[in-house]
């Protein structure tokens, strides 16, 4: 187990990081506003299934391999960006009568779940974050480093689910208010599509490939 002091510092740092909205928060809020709190919470579960995969990959050293390979980094980055842009284009081209909280609730929550997982799985920044942040709180003097990494990763995922879940509830509440104003539905659709496409662009232009060459 990690040192109690390091554990407390880790949890505090994780909470601070989650308070500041990032791409995942924007994705969750957008999903909640457009499809309701339930869909937002399901997307949170999907997103953090992706987080669990990143934790396991980091422990296994797979993330380090991606970080060391410019080609692998580029493939993952562009795949994630393309998927976000796809979601944005679909939102922009969906008819107003089919878009919004009232109709979103009837969409497959299974699809919402796996979309959230895919968005996070294809985010190389998440992989690098676990490599750079989590190991700082590991001390080999306190036992197995693998166990410590898994414990810290699990705590990080739980903290993320709580924080993102709160954002989902806020977004869903806002969506309920917007749903009562049909005139805003088109604006809601355009805003969601623009945010998804913007996140895709940020994924491409906001992350540089690793310096190492293959």
Give the start-end residues of each E strand in the chain: none
Contact 51, 160 (CB under 8 A): yes
pLDDT tens by residue, 162-212: 989 999 999 888 887 766 665 555 666 676 678 768 767 766 666 555 544
Distance CA(154)–CA(116), nearest Å, equals: 18
**Residue 117: pLDDT band with limits 50, 70, 90:** very high
For 67-113, write each residue's pLDDT tens digit.
667 776 677 678 767 877 877 787 677 654 444 544 444 458 888 99
Distance CA 100, CA 125 (A): 30
Please indicate, yes or no, whether the overall pTM of this predicted structure exceeds 0.85. Answer: no
pLDDT cut 70: percent of the chain above it:
68
What's the pLDDT score for residue 122?
83
pLDDT tens digit string along 180-192?
Answer: 665 555 666 676 6
Q: What is the mean pLDDT of residues 60-69?
A: 68
């Amino acid at each position: 187990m990690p040192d109690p002091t390091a554990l407390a510092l880790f949890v505090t740092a994780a909470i601070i990081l989650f308070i500041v909205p990032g791409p995942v928060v924007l994705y969750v809020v957008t999903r909640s506003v457009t499809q309701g709190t339930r869909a937002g919470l399901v997307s949170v579960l999907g997103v953090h299934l992706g987080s669990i995969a990143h934790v396991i990959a980091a422990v296994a050293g797979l993330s380090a391999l991606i970080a060391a390979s410019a080609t692998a980094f580029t493939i993952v980055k562009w795949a994630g960006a393309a998927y976000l842009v796809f979601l944005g284009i679909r939102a922009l081209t969906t008819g107003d009568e089919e878009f919004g909280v009232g109709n979103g609730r009837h969409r497959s929550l299974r699809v919402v779940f796996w979309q959230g997982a895919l968005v996070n799985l294809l985010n190389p920044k998440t992989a690098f974050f676990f490599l750079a942040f989590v190991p700082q709180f590991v001390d080999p003097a306190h036992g197995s480093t693998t166990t410590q990494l898994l414990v810290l990763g699990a705590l990080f995922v739980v903290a993320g689910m709580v924080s993102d879940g709160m954002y989902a509830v806020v977004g869903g509440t806002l969506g309920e208010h917007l749903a009562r104003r049909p005139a805003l539905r088109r604006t809601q659709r355009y805003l969601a599509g623009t945010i998804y496409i913007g996140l895709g662009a940020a994924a491409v232009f906001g992350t540089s490939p690793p310096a190492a060459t293959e």
